[in-house]
Structure 1
Amino acid sequence: MKPRTVLPRLLRWLAGMVLALGALAASATTCTGKFPNPITDICWSCILPISIGGARIGNFGGQEDIDNPSSPLCTCGVNPVVGLSIGFWEPARHVEAVRKPFCLTSLGGIDLDPGIPAPEAARFTRPEADGDGGSFYQAHFYVNPVLYYLEAVTDFPCLERGSFDLAYLTEVDPLWADDELTLIINPDAVLFANPVAIAACAADCVAASLGFGIREMFWCAGCQGGLYPMDGHVPYHMGGVRTAALMAQRLTAKMHRELIAWGWHGTPGLCGPYFLPVMDKAAYKTQLTHPIPNTSKESGKCCQPFGRQTVTWGAGKEYPVRGEDFAFILFRKRNCCVGY
């Protein structure tokens, strides 16, 4: 075969490869997903430890916990009824970060598009071309009291009753795509939009990597950066898992600010939920359920507090096209007065 005939064929082959890669990139906005299998996709050890008063009576693998009410006895109600103070981590909420608007990854990849315009997810580079880039994701918040609807524990009054339900879509929320509009619900963000407040988040990152984040630094999202603004814009995209973990934390904080999510832990939570407009980030642990469930028992733990670095548990959890949407189950701290 003559060289002058090989070159045109090679060019045509390269052109075909470019078109194929372009088609593959276009397919990246397809809607894929999987409903979490409660047997294989949920790490049940995250429920631990179980406590009675200030004493932890059940724990395997050194699961992390926050302080519980010190007394084993509690009273609730107008006519006080004495009960037993119980603490555990309840899997009750689900959060997902998706590229395509109205794509319900946690419901098997259902495209729920009603025709309402909403911005798609994007990753972009900066004009100065310094190698850094940002991103934008849509996110969804689910009610998922999995222990109750599976009837894993019967006649236990401390479980939230209900079924799997879609509670919030950011596609229909104009605040999620606009940094300025979101100041309506978090005007305090202007106090922390400075280098000193942002640099202080390094301490929160260290604390979250060793245990739980620092509650007093409520404007920080640990190693994922800043919690503000509470929308889908991320100034620095450093991997899908890290960005999705930030989206889960931001959306949960947004639900607290809008009084859709409440507090269930501590002494006030013994007798029921209470308003908590500023999220207590130490009251949540997360477990990745999609695209690759994080169920490995490395160090005995497969769930992470808000803000923990993703280098260890997030490696290998993202892959092209079908593995770029992410879902997390939220284990929230629950204290309850059994007998009330």
Structure 2
Amino acid sequence: MNPVTDVCWSCMFPLRLGGVQVISGADDVPDKVSSPTCVCGSGGNITFGLTASFWEPARLIETVKTPYCFPALGSGLSNPQPGMGTGAQSTQTTTGATSTFQQAHYYIFPAWSIMGLFADFPCLEQDGFDLAYMTEVDPMWSNDALSFIINPEALLFGNPAAQFACSADSVAAAAGMPLDPLFWCMGSWGSSYPLSGTIAESNPLTANAGLAARMIYKLGRELLLHDPGLNPCGAVPTPIWVKTNYRLQVVRPVRGSNPIPIGRTDFIWGQNKNAPMGAGSNSADNFLWTMNRKKICCVGVSL
């Protein structure tokens, strides 16, 4: 992973300051904070200023067919149980539906901080690169029934009416951004539930994009990921995700140059993005995604 050449730098736009768009960008939605001014307190200091919003490349998500394979690191570990947890496709004998299973890894990746850019800008995360989560050691990721522990409400949406509503989310994501009220939908990528590594999809691009999005929802549900696009004074927990505050960019096996809203059909962005096995140094069906998150912060004077 090369942060200079692999990160989509134009994906940070649009940029707004005080509610006014300074630099335009694609596929944006209005900020979740309407006030152009802000007052925040932290550690005994009070900050008065203007709200600033942009898209921050802050995390990496891998969805891999090979357990313990780390495309971001260009290496891997040996599987302590060879063959266990390997990505696969399966077909139900009764319905004929095909599902895909992949492992996933979640990295802290504040690209600007790693490159030493905008060091004096208070809105940027200053953590270093780190592997924060891997599903090979999470039993809920490989067992749909066990994942029910963290998503019991999935029972409410396992009906034709709820799933039919996802067609509206698919159209909205293709035209612009998905619909936040339909949190159980991921547009053309399928259902948000279960929060596990099995998705009812046979297309590798669609399946892996959906699983990367599920990682965002799953980590938010487990309170391991907070959303910085809802409050200028700090990130807040989101056990129910806000889909429009996240966009993905495919990095491996083939780099994409545009941000992908959650649920957008791969007919728009997926051409030639999954090279055949042996084409280049990255094996097919092992994917790496940059997660761009909407960031709203308070820029001003601290007293």
TM-score (norm 1): 0.82
Amino acid at match of 1:251: M
CA–CA distance in structure 2, aligned partners of residues 217 and 304 of structure 1: 18
Amino acid at match of 1:85: T
Report the counterpart of residue 186 of structure 2 in structure 1.
221
SS at match of 1:271: coil
Q: Note if 1:99 corresponds to 2:88.
A: no
How far 1:68 moved relative to its partner?
Answer: 4.9
Q: How does 1:62-211 map to 2 (within 5 A)?
A: 62=26, 64-77=28-41, 80-108=46-74, 110-113=75-78, 115=80, 118-127=84-93, 130=96, 132-211=97-176
Report the counterpart of residue 256 of structure 2 in structure 1.
294
Report the counterpart of residue 336 of structure 1 in structure 2.
297
Deviations 1:106-134 (A, max 9, x none): 111x222362574110112343595x522
CA–CA distance in structure 2, aligned partners of residues 129 and 319 of structure 1: 30
Distance 1:51 1:68, change over 3 A: farther
Task: Give me the identity figure in percent.
Answer: 40
User: Across the two proteins, how many residue pairs are aligned to each other?
Assistant: 293
How far 1:241 moved relative to its partner?
Answer: 1.1
How far 1:66 moved relative to its partner?
Answer: 3.2
CA–CA distance in structure 2, aligned partners of residues 51 and 157 of structure 1: 15
How far 1:210 moved relative to its partner?
Answer: 1.2
Report the counterpart of residue 303 of structure 1 in structure 2.
259
Range that drifts further, 112-121 or 172-181: 112-121
Distance 1:255 1:50, change over 3 A: same
How far 1:70 moved relative to its partner?
Answer: 3.1
How far 1:40 moved relative to its partner?
Answer: 2.0
Amino acid at match of 1:320: P
Report the counterpart of residue 317 of structure 1 in structure 2.
273
Deviations 1:202-251 (A, max 9, x none): 000011111111111110011101000011112231x2111110011111
Deviations 1:152-190 (A, max 9, x none): 212001001111111111110000011111010000001
SS at match of 1:244: helix
Segments of structure 1 that go 5 or more residues without pairing to the other structure are: 1-34, 296-301
CA–CA distance in structure 2, aligned partners of residues 256 and 182 of structure 1: 14
SS at match of 1:96: strand
CA–CA distance in structure 1, aligned partners of residues 52 and 31 of structure 2: 12
How far 1:80 moved relative to its partner?
Answer: 3.6
Partner of residue 18 from structure 2, selected from 45, 53, 56: 53
TM-score (norm 2): 0.92
Amino acid at match of 1:329: T
- What stretches of structure 1 move > 6 A for 4+ residues in a row? none
SS at match of 2:144: coil
SS at match of 1:177: coil
In proportion to residue count, which structure has more helix?
1
Partner of residue 219 from structure 2, selected from 250, 255, 261: 255
Report the counterpart of residue 280 of structure 2 in structure 1.
none
How far 1:63 moved relative to its partner?
Answer: 5.0
In proportion to residue count, which structure has more strand?
2
Amino acid at match of 2:264: R
Amino acid at match of 1:183: F
Partner of residue 243 from structure 1, selected from 188, 197, 207: 207
How far 1:293 moved relative to its partner?
Answer: 0.3
Q: Is the contact between residue 49 and residue 65 of structure 1 (CA under 8 Å) also seen in structure 2?
A: no
Amino acid at match of 1:196: A
